[in-house]
Structure 1
Amino acid sequence: MTDELVGELIDTVAWVLIVDGRILCARPRGKDVFYIPGGKREAGESDEQTLRREITEELTVALVPETVEPVGVYEAVDGGARVRMSCYRADYRGTLAASSEIAELAWFGFGDRPLVPPVDQLLFDELHAAGHLAR
């Protein structure tokens, strides 16, 4: 599929949290698919502002600003739209918990790759190849 045939660009940011070779994923209420936590920016927000707001809204924790560092930017076509996901690592304060907009949290290994969207699968591939994501 060429860029001319792809619809809108969905520009998102995501938080990469890996513990013991597994990455944190979240399933929003009303959806069947899991995503890397994060979301779309609001007007005028930077990546870091979007990331911090979304993670607080979804997971009830606060990211530590001075620890935010880029992981990579990934793009894939999903359902006729081009999705760009800018990923970041960061430490956090608080206890991870699903907010009212999140139905379920899960820790995924590379074998769970089919359960996430195409753009998330690119991140899984890279993390697994680098030895960060367990089978």
Structure 2
Amino acid sequence: MGKLIDTVAWVHIVDGRVLGARSRGEELFYIPGGKRHDGESDAQTLLREIEEELTVRLVPETVAHFRTYEAAIHRPGADAVVRMACYTAAFTGSLAPSSEIEELAWLSYAERDRTPPVDQLAFDDLRAAGLLR
């Protein structure tokens, strides 16, 4: 196994669709979140990343672990595995793309192929749980 890329993500579902974010210059959407800074907990990383990327504040006491996934990174030739710890949480504010995020979208299961492999695992579980249409 190559390098491990340790990330956290916020699974936010409305009307059977999950929120996706696309970074500038990228084609794929991903479940919003990012990599931890040294010494950060999952919750601290999640709150920081979501505020930076989506301009909303997650409510700390509502953060709940959903599942954790691992899959090969989606970049050809790269020898790395992405670990994505997924959480749900309530939020305050209005969702808007910020920082490196160029676009937000509400993704259905049919749009699963527009996301990287690790996100596709989450899409499968969300669909199996009846949360994603």
Question: Which whole-Å deviations, capped at 9, do the CAs of 1:104-128 have from their partners, x for residues lacking one?
Answer: 0000000000000000000000000
Matches within 5 A, 1:65-104: 65-78=60-73, 79=75, 80-104=79-103
Gaps of 5+ in 1: 1-5
Question: Which whole-Å deviations, capped at 9, do the CAs of 1:7-42 have from their partners, x for residues lacking one?
Answer: 100000000000000000000112111110000000
Task: Indicate yes or no: 2:14 matched with 1:15.
Answer: no
> Identity of counterpart residues, as a percentage?
64
> Helix, strand or coil for the counterpart of 1:42?
coil
Matches within 5 A, 1:1-135: 6-78=1-73, 79=75, 80-134=79-133
TM norm structure 2: 0.95
Compute the RMSD of aligned alpha carbons: 0.7
Matches of 1:30 and 1:111 in 2, distance apart?
23
TM norm structure 1: 0.94
One-letter code aligned to 2:64: E
